[in-house]
Chain A
Amino acid sequence: MSDFLYPFLDGVGPDVPALLDDLASSAQAKAAISDALRAETLEREATLITATADAMAARFDAGGRLFTFGNGGSSTDAASVAVLFAAPPRGGPLPARCLADDTAVLSALGNDVGFELVFSRQLIAHARAGDIALGLSTSGGSRNLLAAFREARQRDILTIGFAGYDGGEMARSGDVVHCLVVRSDSVHRIQETQGALAVALWSAVQSRLSRDEAARA
Chain B
Amino acid sequence: MGAAGQGVPMSTTGSTTNGPTESRSPGTIDELGGDLAVAALAVARRFSAGATMWCVGPVWTEHARHVAVEFVHPVIVGKRALPALTIDSPDPVAALRPMAASGDVLVLVGDASTPGARDLLRRADAWGLTTVWCGAGDRAPAGSAHHVLWTDGDPAARHDGSVVRLYHLLWELTHVCFEHAAVLTPADVGPGEVCLTCSDEGRPGEVLSVDDQGMAAVRTAGGVETVDTTIVAPVGTGDLVLIHAGTAIAVLDEP
A residues bordering B, Cβ < 8 Å?
2, 5-6, 8-9, 13-14, 16, 19-28, 30-32, 34-35, 38, 72-73, 75-77, 79-81, 83-84, 89-90, 187-188, 191-196, 198-199, 202-203
Contact = CB atoms under 8 A, between A and B. Distances in A.
A191 B38 CA distance: 24
Contact of A196 (B30, B63, B161): B161
Interface of B: 27, 29-30, 32-34, 36-38, 40-41, 61-63, 65-66, 69-70, 73, 75, 154-156, 158-162, 164-165, 168-169, 171-173, 176-177, 180-183, 185, 187, 190-191
A90 B154 CA distance: 11
B160 A23 contact: no
Contact of B159 (A13, A28, A30, A198): A198
Main SS class of interface, A: helix
Chain B interface secondary structure, helix, strand, loop or mixed? helix
Contacts of A90: 155
Contacts of B37: 19-21, 23-24, 27
Contacts of B70: 73
Given A19-B183, A27-B173, 11 more contacts: A14-B183, A16-B41, A16-B190, A23-B173, A27-B29, A27-B37, A34-B161, A84-B158, A191-B168, A195-B160, A199-B159
Residue among B30, B69, B168, B191 with the highest chain A CB neighbour number at 10 A: B168
Most central of A24, A32, A75 by chain B CB within 10 Å: A24
A31 B165 contact: yes
A75 B70 CA distance: 12
A34 B162 CA distance: 9
Contacts of B181: 8
Given A5-B187, A16-B190, A72 B69 contact: yes
Nearest to B184: A14
A84 B159 contact: yes
A82 to B, nearest CB: 9
A35 B25 CA distance: 12
A196 B160 contact: yes
Contacts of A196: 160-161
A25 B159 contact: no
A48 B68 CA distance: 33
A80 B41 CA distance: 29
Contacts of B30: 28
B159 A80 contact: yes
B180 A76 contact: no
Given A27-B37, A28-B30, A192-B164, A89 B156 contact: yes
A203 B159 CA distance: 12
Question: Which 8 pairs, one residue from A and one from B, show the smallest C-beta to C-beta distance?
Answer: A195-B161, A89-B155, A23-B37, A24-B33, A192-B161, A14-B182, A76-B66, A79-B62
A9 B62 contact: no
Contacts of B172: 26-27, 30, 188
A191 B162 CA distance: 10
Contacts of B65: 75-76, 79
A79 B182 CA distance: 40
Nearest to A6: B182
B169 A31 contact: yes
10 contacts: A14-B187, A20-B191, A22-B176, A73-B66, A76-B63, A89-B155, A90-B155, A188-B171, A195-B162, A198-B160
